[in-house]
A and B are shown apart, each in its own frame.
Chain A
Amino acid sequence: MIGIENIVFLIVAAIGIGLFVWQIRKIRKNILIGRDVELADNPSERINKTLLVAFGQQKMFKRMLPAVLHLFVYVGFLVINIEVLEILIDGIFGTHRILGFAGILYSGLMAVNEILAALVIIACVIFLWRRNVTHVPRLANGVEMRAWPKLDANLILITEIVLMIALFAFNISDLKLAELRGAHLAGAFPVSSMFVNVLGSDPDTLHVIGRVGWWFHILGILAFMNYLPSSKHFHIIMAFPNVYYSKLLPKGKFTTNPAITHEIKAMLDPSYQPPAPEVDAEGNPVMQRFGAKDVEDLTWKQLMDSYTCTECGRCTSVCPANITGKLLSPRKIVMDTRDRMEEKGEHPAIFKPNHYKEMGVERVEVTEEKTLLRGYITPEELWACTSCNACVESCPVNIDQLSTIMDLRRYLVLEESAAPASLNAMFTNIENNGAPWAFSPADRFNWADELYVPSKN
């Protein structure tokens, strides 16, 4: 039966979804600030990777405890969404447990849902404990873990717990009402049936609690959805495309800039004809910077990386530079890229980077420049990187922190000649001697002098 409640629901749902789409378009626009890069090759390998790393959570299992707890929340999220679908249909058409006709299948689904919902609550409580009581270092430390990232993480965990409790309130009241009527409620409810009497046995109260639980759950989900783009929790969407578009080449292969190749070839061979430079819509040649100074110099994939980051800090916790007290934190590089992107481009409904930028800066001495380089990320951080790929290896959602670090370094060297003096000396040695040290190329073969092996006979 369709009543006023259903119409209100329909309007609220439409507003919630509309707002979400509006935010997604902003984020899409931000990501497209980035340079174009061709990443559509090899779809079968990409799908495989997405199944393993994103759907299968493969890289999470490098750390068992958080992996198992996260798996509860992840599977809970996926499976409980089927019940959310039912809630949506019930809400629109005024039906009650519309999928109940599925009988044993429905009972199984409801039972699994209830168990998962309980596991989600347990996992989220342990996560809160790890963040706020035991202070797991990678979650608690680091200059980038300012007020907002910490608040954001706690908000998400508390919201998830509240949503699950609302779901239980809805189920418990429904179950008790059916019991009072002497009827059988479609589905099986292993957790709610244990608590069937906690809400009392007044049918009117139970009815109200059930409706409140129902409304709270669905409004909670709509609010949650619109909170996502401002949060690290956006990874629940971005993880999938980000893994799909991840680097398939060996991690040691860094990008090659073809513009430089043409320049050198023309230098070595005056008859070499470099291809005509790219032109924009008005026919003006596109000036491409060497390396990256700001977000528009990075590729859309590197910008997508920063919207996928869950701020878990696995990268920073394995970074040799960070472990030994250097300024570099790969997580900060990724978070800074997102903040700068939203400062320069659009920002979602809730989060604005300037809300928290000034806090917890510590040793990172940024300048007033309105660019990613120096305005957010300092050369000292960039020069601490050993390019060891530990951050890239550790990231559960295949973020390539190293590529961003390298592009920023390239800008320092190629556009500003701002390498540390010792590296400039190394460059000079390579140019003059063909070796990074000051040895004469004539001595390069001296190692072979006076070399003996045992005779075979």
Chain B
Amino acid sequence: MEENKRLVKVPTMAQMAANGEEPEILFWVGCAGAFDDRYKRVTRAFVQILEHVGVKYAVLGTEESCTGDPAKRAGNEFLFQMQALTNIEVLNAYNVKKIVTACPHCFNTIKNEYPDLGGNYEVIHHSTFLQQLINEGKVKVQGGEAFTGKRITFHDSCYLGRANDIYEAPRDVLAALDADLVEMKRSRANGLCCGAGGAQMFKEPEPGKKDINIERTEEALATLGAGNGVIATACPFCMVMMNDGVKNKEQEESVKVFDIAELIAQAEGLSK
């Protein structure tokens, strides 16, 4: 099988600029996508898709820095703007026009909050981007693992859903898998948060009766019913919270948490 695969050399903006080139899209990886062991696999799956369809893309590599989202949600407007203004300087220097990211928090911040500070870009979440690739026939969702009839439930990210009204794109992507999509009772605009937003990811929860991710995981497990199933997410924080929830419920053998990009890469035969 060795000869059937090739090593990917992920292009950076710096290399592109040195060659006098401009990519079609900048893939904004985000901190979780770069550092979190679990979400690095999502980053890699998404790059495999980009390579597979032959989009001209680049990343910032070590020039990328936190968008400032967690600082802003935690109330530290000063630190947020420091990060934002620095990032905007980098992005504008490279003349970036179009940004795709797999993180709804990065997506929301760059799309909605950077314009006030001088950063104006077309920002696309990877769910919308994947939906477009499928609609255009560039991704055929075949050649890999079959998901036909498999039970999948999609957990809405607050910063994708309510914050930006993107509910259908991730569902359309999942629909292409021909799986058995089941909706939780609290979904779309009524979706329940995983518990990580608003900088909760970086602190212990306040005193209460229960952790929010447990409440949400219980709902997901009840929706999937007995047997194997997949909780699909489209956000690195949701993924951590749902994974922890599934482990807490000792269901990690039967219920897996995957990002929509991983599912597509698997179905397309791009990754194991």
Contacts and interface: CB of A to CB of B under 8 A. Distances in A.
Interface stretch (A197-205, A330-338, A407-415): A407-415
Contact of A252 (B76, B112, B199, B203): B112
B75 A454 contact: no
B71 interface: yes
B4 A426 contact: no
Interface string A314-351: 00001011011111100000000000000000000000
B40 interface: yes
Given A386-B196, A387-B197, A423 B34 contact: no
A452 B6 contact: yes
A431 B70 CA distance: 12
Contact of B75 (A384, A419, A445): A419
Interface string A405-435: 0100111111000011011011100110011
B140 to A, nearest CB: 13
A453 B44 CA distance: 10
A325 B75 contact: no
A409 B162 contact: no
Interface stretch (A130-138, A260-268, A279-287): A260-268
A261 B83 CA distance: 11
A356 interface: no
Contacts of B111: 250
Nearest to B104: A252
Given A413-B75, A435-B66, A454-B5, A445 B61 contact: yes
Contact of B197 (A388, A427, A431, A447): A388
Given A390-B162, A426-B202, A414 B210 contact: no
Given A451-B48, A453-B270, A325 B209 contact: yes
B31 A451 contact: no
A453 B48 contact: yes
Given A423-B203, A452-B7, A454-B270, A386 B195 contact: yes
B190 interface: yes
A136 B200 CA distance: 30
Interface string B41-81: 00110011001100000010110111010111111111101
Contacts of B202: 422-423, 425-426, 436
A439 interface: yes
A444 interface: yes
Contacts of A423: 74, 199, 202-203
Interface in A337-389: 380, 383-389
A410 B75 contact: yes
Contact of B81 (A260, A326, A455): A260
A256 B113 CA distance: 7
Given A250-B164, A430-B70, A386 B197 contact: yes
A189 to B, nearest CB: 43
A443 interface: yes
A327 B117 contact: no
B206 interface: yes
B192 interface: yes
A316 B219 CA distance: 19
A184 interface: no
A49 to B, nearest CB: 15
A249 interface: yes
Given A383-B206, A389-B163, A254 B5 contact: no
B75 A291 contact: yes
A380 B206 contact: yes
A143 B160 CA distance: 32
B208 interface: yes
A9 interface: no
A326 B5 contact: no
Given A409-B75, A410-B75, A448-B8, 20 more contacts: A252-B108, A253-B108, A264-B82, A290-B78, A320-B193, A320-B212, A325-B209, A384-B206, A386-B158, A386-B196, A389-B158, A390-B158, A390-B162, A420-B203, A423-B202, A426-B74, A436-B66, A436-B202, A452-B5, A455-B4
17 contacts: A250-B165, A257-B77, A261-B81, A261-B117, A264-B82, A265-B85, A290-B78, A326-B206, A385-B198, A386-B198, A414-B75, A434-B65, A445-B62, A448-B44, A450-B7, A453-B5, A453-B48
Interface of B: 3-8, 10, 12, 29, 31, 33-36, 40, 43-44, 47-48, 51-52, 59, 61-62, 64-66, 68, 70-79, 81-83, 85, 108, 111-113, 116-117, 158-159, 162-165, 189-193, 195-212, 214-216, 269-270
Interface of A: 62, 249-254, 256-257, 260-261, 263-265, 268, 290-291, 318, 320-321, 323-328, 380, 383-390, 392-393, 406, 409-414, 419-420, 422-423, 425-427, 430-431, 434-437, 439, 441-448, 450-455
* 5 residue pairs, one from A and one from B, having the closest CB atoms: A252-B163, A325-B209, A387-B198, A434-B65, A409-B75
